């Protein structure tokens, strides 16, 4: 019954919006509640595809496209395992992203794509690769998945407690990594099943736990950006907290939909609590127009508005509310959604965002945020999914 409902939900999502002309993105360009600010996801997605070129950006984009364009294939659906790809095709844009990446991978490569020293970032495309290979049934792609998994488990530096480093050359914790690695481990686990699958579902929870222990600042109820290793960034970076919150809620949804859900009840509660911590810390500093600052808890004259981090934190709020039924942060989320929507120009570009390569300067001139564009898509998908639960 759950599978039939998931298929119905996907078909309903396709049917409930009519556009003037067909578009691969346009069927989700309207939103669930009348009067909500309009976000042209067609333009936002086209821009995201045009400028995305780094490993973590591909991960964010493929996930956002699946969440938006094939919600029944997302881990947030009622029945994502096994994925119902006959009823809900994988978006063409996802194929267009992962196919050349995997075709370029060499036999002696240990990761899907070069991470430029980041151990976790290449694994961010892992869920999309695993999903696509349920259709492609490509033995080489299957081998690529196993190489990427084994690299994280056995080659990358680990802490004494078992945390997989975000860096290839030393043990270092980045909040970003929680979006990259744990969802891949969890998705592999849910798709694999059995004892091996459960082991990686538990490992995904463990990675979230160990990263939280290294980065969570209880006084602010926020995560620091980078800890350990040869240098640190102790600020409460909005995008870092966003990566962590949305990564954790993806792991939560994956475990809930897996065959091991009953066995991992306490792990699910942990994950719920950890996302709520970040939402509490983030929204206590939210301004009246929905802004979350780049350095979340700094005064306005020491930081700047960041629509990118705001978008993904808010996506996490909608997703968690859909899972738990707790509406505590929905009013905050609605205000932040409006801020993000009003930060998108007529050409589909997100403005008022941090430069993702500097962490501490806003976008200027022609500089854009590939991940910010994808965060908007995840936000639209999350908000729509939340209102479908009511």
* Max intra-chain CA distance, the chain: 58
Task: Find all residues with CB under 8 Å of 17, minimum gap 6, and list them.
Answer: 26, 27, 28, 29, 30
Q: What is the mean pLDDT of residues 359-363?
A: 97
Question: What pLDDT, on the 0 to 100 scale, is given for residue 92?
Answer: 98
pLDDT-above-70 percentage for the chain:
91
The single residue listed with the structure tokens 């290793």 is: 229
Question: What pLDDT, on the 0 to 100 scale, is given for residue 16?
Answer: 32
pLDDT digits (tens, 9 = 90+) for 65-80: 999 999 999 999 999 9
Element (H, E) at 228: strand 226-228
Report the alpha-carbon angle 359-348-360, nearest 5.
Answer: 10
* Tokens standing for residue 370: 């590939």
Q: Is the dihedral of CA 48, 129, 136, 9 positive or negative?
A: negative
Question: What pLDDT, on the 0 to 100 scale, is given for residue 296?
Answer: 99
- Look at residue 389 and tell me whether its pLDDT is greater than 90: yes
Nearest to 130 by CA among 185, 87, 182: 185
- Look at residue 3 and tell me whether its pLDDT is greater than 90: no
Alpha-helical segments (H) within the chain = 2-15, 41-51, 55-69, 92-104, 126-136, 139-150, 177-192, 194-215, 238-257, 265-283, 307-324, 330-342, 370-388
pLDDT range class, residue 63, cuts 50, 70, 90: very high
What's the CATH number of domain 2-388, 1.10.3720.10, 3.20.20.70, 1.50.10.10, 3.90.550.10?
Answer: 1.50.10.10
Report the SS3 class of residue 131: helix
pLDDT range class, residue 36, cuts 50, 70, 90: confident
In this structure, the number of other CB atoms found within 10 A of the CB of residue 48 comes to: 30
- Look at residue 314 and tell me whether its pLDDT is greater than 50: yes
pLDDT digits (tens, 9 = 90+) for 90-102: 999 999 999 999 9
Contact 158, 165 (CB under 8 A): yes
CA dist 302 to 242, 358, 360, Å? 20, 16, 11
C-alpha count within 13 angstroms, C-beta hemisphere, residue 224: 17
Question: What pLDDT, on the 0 to 100 scale, is given for residue 18?
Answer: 27
Question: What pLDDT, on the 0 to 100 scale, is given for residue 12?
Answer: 36
Report the alpha-carbon angle 48-332-80, nearest 5.
Answer: 55
The Cα 356–Cα 242 span in angstroms is 13
The Cα 51–Cα 116 span in angstroms is 18
Question: What pLDDT, on the 0 to 100 scale, is given for residue 31?
Answer: 39
Average pLDDT, the chain: 93
CA dist 190 to 84, 111, 119, 264, 310, Å? 15, 21, 22, 12, 29
- Look at residue 32 and tell me whether its pLDDT is greater than 60: no
* Tokens standing for residue 47: 């821009």
- Look at residue 7 and tell me whether its pLDDT is greater than 70: no
- Look at residue 267 and tell me whether its pLDDT is greater than 90: yes
- Look at residue 28 and tell me whether its pLDDT is greater than 80: no
Report the SS3 class of residue 344: strand
What does the DSSP 8-state code read for residue 350?
B
The Cα 40–Cα 22 span in angstroms is 14
The Cα 284–Cα 296 span in angstroms is 9
What does the DSSP 8-state code read for residue 226?
E
The single residue listed with the structure tokens 């930081």 is: 303
Backbone angles phi, psi at 81, to 5 degrees: -125, 120
pLDDT digits (tens, 9 = 90+) for 208-226: 999 999 999 999 999 999 9
Task: Find all residues with CB under 8 Å of 91, minimum gap 6, and list them.
Answer: 24, 65, 66, 69, 70
Picking from 12-16, 70-74, 161-165, which range would have the lowest pLDDT averaged per residue? 12-16
Question: Which one is predicted more confidently, 124 or 25?
Answer: 124
What does the DSSP 8-state code read for residue 326?
-
Question: What pLDDT, on the 0 to 100 scale, is given for residue 29?
Answer: 39
* Tokens standing for residue 385: 């999914």
For the chain, the structural domain boundaries read 2-388
């Amino acid at each position: 019954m759950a599978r039939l409902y998931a298929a119905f939900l996907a078909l309903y999502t396709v049917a409930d919006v009519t556009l003037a002309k067909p578009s691969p993105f346009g069927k989700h360009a309207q939103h669930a509640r009348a009067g909500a600010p309009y976000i042209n996801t067609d333009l936002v997605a086209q821009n995201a595809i045009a400028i995305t070129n780094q490993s973590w950006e591909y991960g964010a984009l493929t996930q956002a496209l699946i969440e938006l364009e094939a919600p029944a294939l997302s881990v947030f659906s009622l029945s994502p395992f096994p994925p119902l790809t006959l009823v809900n095709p994988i978006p063409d844009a996802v194929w267009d992203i992962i196919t050349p990446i995997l075709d370029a991978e060499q036999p002696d490569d240990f990761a899907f794509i070069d991470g430029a020293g980041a151990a976790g970032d290449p694994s961010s495309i892992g869920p999309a690769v695993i999903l696509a290979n349920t259709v492609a049934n490509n033995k080489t792609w299957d081998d690529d998945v196993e190489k990427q998994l084994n690299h994280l488990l056995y080659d990358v530096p680990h802490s004494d407690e078992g945390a997989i480093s975000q860096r290839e050359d030393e043990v270092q914790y980045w909040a970003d990594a929680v979006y990259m690695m744990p969802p891949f481990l969890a998705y592999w686990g849910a798709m694999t099943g059995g004892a091996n699958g459960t082991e990686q579902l538990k490992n995904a929870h463990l990675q979230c736990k160990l990263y939280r222990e290294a980065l969570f600042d209880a006084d602010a109820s926020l995560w620091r950006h980078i800890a350990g290793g040869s240098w640190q960034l102790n600020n409460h970076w909005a995008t870092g907290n966003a990566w962590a919150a949305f990564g954790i809620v993806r792991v939560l949804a994956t475990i809930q939909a897996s065959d091991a859900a009953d066995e991992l009840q306490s792990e699910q509660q942990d994950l719920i609590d950890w996302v709520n911590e970040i939402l509490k810390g983030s929204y206590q500093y939210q301004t009246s127009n929905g802004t979350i600052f780049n350095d979340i808890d700094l005064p306005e004259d020491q930081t700047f508005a960041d629509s990118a981090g705001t978008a993904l934190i808010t996506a996490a709020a909608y997703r968690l509310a859909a899972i738990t039924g707790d509406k505590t942060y929905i009013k905050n989320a609605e205000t932040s959604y409006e801020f993000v929507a009003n930060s998108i120009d007529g050409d589909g570009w997100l403005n008022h965002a941090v430069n993702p390569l500097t962490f501490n300067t806003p976008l200027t001139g022609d500089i854009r945020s590939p991940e910010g564009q994808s965060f908007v898509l995840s936000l639209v998908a999350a908000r729509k999914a939340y209102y479908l639960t009511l």
